[in-house]
Amino acid sequence: MLLSELWFLLIGVLFVGFMFLEGFDFGVGMSTRFLAKNDLDRRMLIQTIGPTWAANEVWLVTAVGAMFAAFPHWYATLLSGYYMPVIVLLLALIARGVSFEFRDRVESEKWVKTWDWSIFIGSIFPPFILGLTFASLIKGLPIDADMNMYAGFFDIVNTYTVVGGLTFVALSYLHGLTFISLKTDGSLRTRARKEAQKWYAITGGLVFWFVILTVFYTEAFSAKGPILIPLYILVGILYGALMLLLRNKKEGFSFTVTGIILIMITASFFIALFPNVMISSLDIAHNITIYEAVSGDYSLRIMTIVAATMIPVVLGYTFWTYYVFRKRVSKKENLNY
């Protein structure tokens, strides 16, 4: 395997890891509006992700940083056409993070409600924009021979990409609900389990719709069908099993399955892209491949050494953090938010 291929794989793994870990964070943020009945419920919900949400976002920062260092032409072309989506994504993540820290600093109902809305909105936009971006990448964007992108509004925002964004929002919410049922106790736990069963059909419908649109709007299946078809069949089988797990109150397995589904859907975008990093809708000859977008060999070698050293550390503190904060959150606990 070439270093360029290895780094494409690593960047894909980082985005997949981010969607698995931050996906349930986003879902918990959405649930503060849909599931919580009062301020105590909201504080319990935020407490479930309080110790880990910031560490989970490191995966996105690392993925974008790795993209910049390993594939500068990919980074430059993508960011040049996605100014507004990226700005909205960053503002949403900042607003969400600030809200967790600020909402309990002033004893004012108006103050708390303002930050609660900020958490809710800041939890919906990131998965939507990431789904929108991934979908538009495999659909293709107007890129010329000099790697310049001239994307208009409807090149990025159209039926296919919006369905891709909504699919990620729905999957994140479902993933968040299974996480809440695993991390809380009492009535909140019961309500999360019931809400997951209600949301099941909506999420499944969106995933199915998105896969069908992928057949008609992209070349993904004609190019990578032997890989993507078994992958989506497995997604369907897992999704069918998920309802049985939810009905039988298998909370740990339910959370694992929603996470695997989110992982497989995210991975499918990178499988569909390879060996391209950007697909041109103008001419297939203008596609940007990993071999054209890659950085110098010396840079990749240094980055590989650093990654091989640091990845075990990152994985180690991630597992340790989740082990330390593995307890269920209850009303009796000292809530910090």
| Domain range summary for the chain, segments of one domain joined by + | 3-323
HSE value, Cβ hemisphere, 13 Å, CA-based, for 296: 3
pLDDT at position 58: 87
- The one-letter code for the residue type at 45 is L
Rounded Cα–Cα distance for residues 76 and 90 (Å): 17
Joined tokens for residue 271? 């499988």
pLDDT at position 99: 92
**188: exposed, middle or buried (C-beta count within 10 Å: 0-12, 13-18, 19+)?**
buried
pLDDT at position 318: 85
pLDDT at position 87: 93
pLDDT at position 151: 85
Specify the 3-state DSSP secondary structure of 288: strand
pLDDT at position 152: 86
Packed helices 251-273 and 220-247: angle between N→C axes, nearest 10 degrees: 180
Output the CA torsion sign for 155, 159, 160, 165: positive
Which residues of the chain have a pLDDT value below 50?
none
Output the CA torsion sign for 130, 135, 138, 141: negative
**∠ CA(73), CA(279), CA(289), 5° rounding?**
50
pLDDT at position 126: 95
Owner of token pair 């390879």: 274
pLDDT at position 325: 84
Contacts of residues 190-193 at CB distance under 8 Å and 24 or more positions apart, as own/partner, are 191/35, 192/31, 192/35, 193/246, 193/249, 193/251
Output the CA torsion sign for 222, 226, 228, 230: positive
- The one-letter code for the residue type at 90 is L
